[in-house]
Structure 1
Amino acid sequence: MTNATLDFWIEPNANPVSPDVREGLLADPGFGRVFTDHMVTVRYSIDKGWHDAVVGARQPIPMDPAASVLHYAQEIFEGMKAYKLADGGTALFRPEANAQRFRESAVRLAMPQLPEDVFLESVRLLVDIDRAWIPAGEGGALYLRPFMFASEVFLGVRPSHEYLYIVIASSVGAYFKGGAKAISIWVSQDYSRAAPGGTGAAKCGGNYAASLVAQAQAIEKGCDQVAFLDAAERRWVEELGGMNLFFVFDDGTMLTPPLGGTILPGITRDSILTLARDQGLTVREAPYSFADWRADAQSGRLVETFACGTAAVVTSVGTVRSAEGDFVIGSGSPGQMTERMRTALTSIQRGTAPDPHGWVKPVA
C-alpha cells in the first residue's frame, strides 16, 4: 500500500499497557472486549475537507449532546482483520475492498467519501504501531473497526457538515465460543433486516440496531443467530444479522442469495465465491425460499448450510428453528464443503497457501 495523500501525525501513547498485562489479556481475548493502545482520528468539515489525521492514544471521544449522529444516525463502519503470517510478518486481507465498501456506504448515508488511500494508510499505520496486540493462538487476529459519524453540533434535518473518522483495534480469538461447531439459527418471520430502497447494502449501525430485537428473540429460542427473510414477501432467505449464507447441495453445487440492494455485499462472501469457482465448483447467486430450505434439508438434497463474515469467517449451520418448527441440516455437524471453504480462505489469510488473487497485503 502506498502512502496516503493526507499526512498522518504520529503521537505514540505515553502510557501504553505493559507487556506483562498485555500478554495476560491476549491469553483469552474473546471477541471485541480487548482493545489496543492506539486509535486513528481524521476530521472532515465542508470548508476544509479531510484534515487533522492523527495516530494517537486510544481515548474517549468528546461529544456535544447535540452532535448530529445522536439524533439522525449518520454513521457507517467497516470490519476487517490483520493477521500474523506463517513467515512471521503481518498482513491485511483485501483492505481495498473494505475501503471501496466504506465509500459506497458513505454515499448511501449522504456522507463525504473518505479517499481510499487515506483509509488504507489509516489501517496500515494502526496495525503497524499495535502489531504486538495480535494474539498468537489459533484464530487470533487484530480486528479493525474503521467508522465515521456526523459530528456537527446541529439539530436541523440535513446531512451534517462535519464528520469524525476513527479506527480502533481489538485483539480477538474465535467469534463463537467452543470453536468450530455447527450453530443454530432462528428464522425471524416477525422482523425484517432491510427493505428494497433501504440501507441493506450499506454497513451502517442502524441495520444492526434493527436486527437486535430479532437476535434477542433467537437467543430466547435457544439459537445462536437470527436469519432474516425478505421484507416484501417474507418468503426469500436473505442473510443473518451479521453474516451472509451459503447452501450446499448433494450434487456438489452451491447457492447464495443475490445481493440486489437488501443484502450486505460481504467481502468474505465474495472471496468464497471466487475460491469455489477457482476449484471448479458451480455456485449460483439466486433467490432461495425458506420453504425450499426446509424441504431440501428434509429430503436430503441440501447437505450443508454455512454462514460467513469477517468476524466468524466460515461457520456451519446445523439446526434451523422457526415458529413453523425445526429442521436439521445434514448430520447437524460441520460439513465437508464448509470445512473446505474455511481452510481455503484461512490458509490464504495466514500465508500458508498461494495467494493467486493478490488479496494479502503485508504491513511494512
Structure 2
Amino acid sequence: FRVFVSPVGPYYKGAGMAVISLAVSEIDRAAPRGTGSYKVGANYAGGLLATRQAQELGANEALYLDASENRYIDEAGSANILVVMNDGTLVTPKSDAILPSITRRSIMEFAKDQLGMNTQERPIDLRAELSNFQEMAACGTAAVLSPVGKLYFDDQWHSVYGDGSEVGPVMQKVYDTLVGIQKGEVSDGFGWTHEVKI
C-alpha cells in the first residue's frame, strides 16, 4: 500500500478562501440523460469554450444551467454548487447531469449532523430563487470550498452576498469544518479520515 502526495495551490487563482465569480454559460455542459454524471474527458472538453467566455467577462469559471430548460443550476465547470437560502437551509442541486461529488456529499452530511443545518438536495431555479440566496459556493476536490460572490447572467452582474467581495459567515464555518476534518483538527464523527503510519 502506498500513498503519494503532491502539494498544490488554490484551484482558482487568487482564491484559497477568497471569493470567486461565476458566469452563466449559454453552452450546455451535458445532455439530458447523457454522461454528465460520469467523470469522462468528453464532459470537460466541451466546457473549454464556456470557461474562456466566462473569463473574458471577468469571472473565474462558467456556471451551467440544465440543458432542458436553461433554468435550474447544474454545476460550475469544475465544481458542484451549494447555496445557503435566506432561511438558513443549505441546498445543493438535484440533477442527473452532474457529478456525484464526494466533497459535496461530505459537506451536506456534516452540515446537517455537526452544524445542525437543514439541508436539501433539489432543483434550484436560478432566476426565480436568486433573491432568496444568502450565500453560495463552489465545492469539489480541487476547489475545496470557494464562496461565490457574484453571478453574471442576463447581461449583468448579480451580487450573492453583500457587495460580492466578502466571504459569508455560513460558508466560512462550512470551510473551517471541512478543512478542519481533513487536517484532523475537527472531530471526524463519520470515519472519513484514517491515520496512515509510516
* Alpha-carbon offset, residue 253 of structure 1: 1.1
Aligned residue type for 1:325: Q
Match of 1:181 among 11, 18, 22: 18
Aligned residue type for 2:108: L
Match of 1:346 among 164, 172, 179: 179
- Highest RCO, 1 vs 2 (Cα 8 Å, sep ≥ 6): 2
* Aligned counterparts of 1:202 and 1:288: Cα–Cα separation in 2: 21
**Which runs of at least 4 in structure 1 moved beyond 4 Å after TM superposition?**
none
- Who is 1:330 aligned against? 161
Aligned residue type for 2:149: G
Aligned residue type for 2:112: R
- Who is 1:262 aligned against? 97
* Alpha-carbon offset, residue 196 of structure 1: 2.1
Aligned residue type for 2:101: G
Question: The residue matched to 1:362 in structure 2 has which SS?
Answer: coil
Equivalent residues of 2:23, 2:152 under 8 A apart: yes
* Aligned counterparts of 1:339 and 1:354: Cα–Cα separation in 2: 17
- Who is 1:308 aligned against? 139
Taking only the aligned residue pairs, the percentage that are identical comes to: 39
* Aligned counterparts of 2:53 and 2:171: Cα–Cα separation in 1: 27
* Aligned counterparts of 1:330 and 1:256: Cα–Cα separation in 2: 17
* Alpha-carbon offset, residue 205 of structure 1: 1.1
Specify every segment of 5 or more residues in structure 1 that has no aligned partner in the other structure, as ranges.
1-120, 128-141, 143-169
Q: Does 1:195 align with 2:31?
A: yes
State the TM-score, normalizing by the size of structure 1: 0.51
* Alpha-carbon offset, residue 363 of structure 1: 2.6
- Who is 1:253 aligned against? 89
Question: The residue matched to 1:228 in structure 2 has which SS?
Answer: strand
- Who is 1:360 aligned against? 193
Equivalent residues of 2:19, 2:147 under 8 A apart: yes
* Alpha-carbon offset, residue 126 of structure 1: 4.0
Q: Does 1:204 align with 2:37?
A: no
* Alpha-carbon offset, residue 193 of structure 1: 0.8
Equivalent residues of 2:78, 2:143 under 8 A apart: no
State the TM-score, normalizing by the size of structure 2: 0.92
Aligned residue type for 1:315: S
Aligned residue type for 1:313: V
* Aligned counterparts of 2:196 and 2:9: Cα–Cα separation in 1: 20
* Aligned counterparts of 2:156 and 2:129: Cα–Cα separation in 1: 13
Aligned residue type for 1:233: E
* Alpha-carbon offset, residue 312 of structure 1: 1.6
Specify every segment of 5 or more residues in structure 2 that has no aligned partner in the other structure, as ranges.
none
Aligned residue type for 1:255: V
Q: Does 1:273 align with 2:137?
A: no
State the structure with more CA Rg.
1
* Alpha-carbon offset, residue 204 of structure 1: 1.0
- Who is 1:29 aligned against? none
- What CA deviation, in whole Å up to 9, does each residue of 1:155-185 have, x standing for no partner? xxxxxxxxxxxxxxx4312223333211111
Question: The residue matched to 1:355 in structure 2 has which SS?
Answer: coil
Aligned residue type for 2:100: P
Aligned residue type for 1:242: S
* Aligned counterparts of 2:64 and 2:184: Cα–Cα separation in 1: 35
Equivalent residues of 2:82, 2:90 under 8 A apart: yes
Matches within 5 A, 1:26-175: 121=1, 125-127=2-4, 142=5, 170-175=6-11
* Alpha-carbon offset, residue 362 of structure 1: 2.5
